[in-house]
Amino acid sequence: MKKVELKNPVVKFPHLTALAMAVMLGGCVSKLPPLPATDVPAGWEGPVTANAPMWPKKDWWNNFEDTELTTLISNVQTSNLDLANVKRNLDSAQISLREAGYNLLPTPTVTIGTGATSTQTHKTPILGSTSTGTNVPFTVAAGFTYNDILSKPATYDKALSDYSGRIAQAESLALTTLGTTASTYFQLLLTRDKVVAAQQNLANAEAIGAIAQARVDAGVAVQIEALQQQITIENARNSLRTLQQNDLSARAALALLQGHNVQGFDIKGKSLLDIKVPAVQPGIPSDLLRRRPDLVLAESTLKSSNANLTIVHNSLFPQISLTGNASASSTSLSNLVSSPASTITISANLVETLLDNGQRFRNIDQARITMENNLASYRKAVLAAFNDVEVSLSNIQLLEAQNITAFNNLNAAEESFREAKARYTEGVTDYQTMLQTQNTLFTARNSWLDSKLLQLNAAVGLYQSLGGGWEKPAQ
Sequence-distant (6+) residues with CB within 8 A of 387 are none
Q: How confident is the model at residue 340 (pLDDT cuts 50, 70, 90)?
A: low
Distance CA 316, CA 367 (A): 14
Q: What is the pLDDT of residues 286-295, one digit of tens each?
A: 999 999 999 9
Sequence-distant (6+) residues with CB within 8 A of 474 are none
Higher pLDDT, 329 or 341: 329
pLDDT exceeds cutoff 60 at 103 = yes
Q: How confident is the model at residue 452 (pLDDT cuts 50, 70, 90)?
A: very high
Residue 419's pLDDT is what?
93
Distance CA 415, CA 409 (A): 10
Q: How confident is the model at residue 139 (pLDDT cuts 50, 70, 90)?
A: confident
CA torsion, ordered 388, 389, 392, 393, to nearest 10 deg: -150
- Residue 144 burial (CB < 10 Å; 0-12/13-18/19+)? middle
Average of per-residue pLDDT across 305-313: 89
Q: How confident is the model at residue 28 (pLDDT cuts 50, 70, 90)?
A: very low
pLDDT exceeds cutoff 60 at 18 = no
Average of per-residue pLDDT across 237-262: 95
Residue 329's pLDDT is what?
63
Give bridge partners of residue 118 from the DSSP assignment.
133
Residue 358's pLDDT is what?
83
Q: How confident is the model at residue 5 (pLDDT cuts 50, 70, 90)?
A: very low
Residue 276's pLDDT is what?
92
Higher pLDDT, 103 or 386: 386
Q: How confident is the model at residue 337 (pLDDT cuts 50, 70, 90)?
A: low
Lowest pLDDT segment from 123-127, 235-239, 275-279, 330-334? 123-127
Instruction: Give CA angle at 136 (130, 141), nearest 5°.
Output: 150
Average of per-residue pLDDT across 103-124: 65
Residue 16's pLDDT is what?
38
Q: How confident is the model at residue 303 (pLDDT cuts 50, 70, 90)?
A: very high
Distance CA 161, CA 168 (A): 11
Distance CA 363, CA 104 (A): 24
Furthest CA-CA distance within the chain: 151
Distance CA 316, CA 356 (A): 11
Fold classification of 27-107+149-318+361-465 is Outer membrane efflux proteins (OEP) (1.20.1600)
Average of per-residue pLDDT across 188-195: 95
Element (H, E) at 403: helix 359-426
Sheet holding 138-146, edge to edge: 107-114, 138-146, 319-330, 341-351
Q: How confident is the model at residue 331 (pLDDT cuts 50, 70, 90)?
A: low
Distance CA 387, CA 172 (A): 18
- Is the Cβ–Cβ distance between 281 and 101 less than 8 Å? no
Residue 59's pLDDT is what?
94
Q: Is the pTM of this model over 0.85?
A: no
Average of per-residue pLDDT across 108-123: 61
| Domain chopping of the chain, boundaries | 27-107+149-318+361-465
Residue 166's pLDDT is what?
93
Going by the DSSP 8-state scheme, the letter that residue 104 receives in this structure is T
Residue 473's pLDDT is what?
84
Residue 444's pLDDT is what?
93
pLDDT exceeds cutoff 90 at 67 = yes
Q: At what angle do helices 67-79 and 81-102 cross, to 10 degrees?
A: 50
Distance CA 3, CA 20 (A): 41
pLDDT exceeds cutoff 90 at 6 = no
Average pLDDT for the chain: 83
Percent of the chain with pLDDT over 90: 49
Checking 342-346 for CB contacts under 8 A at 24+ apart, the result is 342/6, 342/7, 342/9, 343/7, 343/9, 343/10, 344/9, 344/10, 344/11, 345/10, 345/11, 345/12, 346/11, 346/12, 346/13, 346/322
Q: How confident is the model at residue 66 (pLDDT cuts 50, 70, 90)?
A: very high
Residue 247's pLDDT is what?
95
Residue 342's pLDDT is what?
56
Average of per-residue pLDDT across 237-257: 95
- Is the Cβ–Cβ distance between 463 and 56 less than 8 Å? yes
Q: How confident is the model at residue 338 (pLDDT cuts 50, 70, 90)?
A: low
Distance CA 243, CA 449 (A): 14
- Is the Cβ–Cβ distance between 154 and 315 less than 8 Å? no
Percent of the chain with pLDDT over 70: 81
Q: What is the pLDDT of residues 410-434, one digit of tens each?
A: 999 999 999 998 998 888 888 888 8
Element (H, E) at 112: strand 107-114
pLDDT exceeds cutoff 80 at 455 = yes
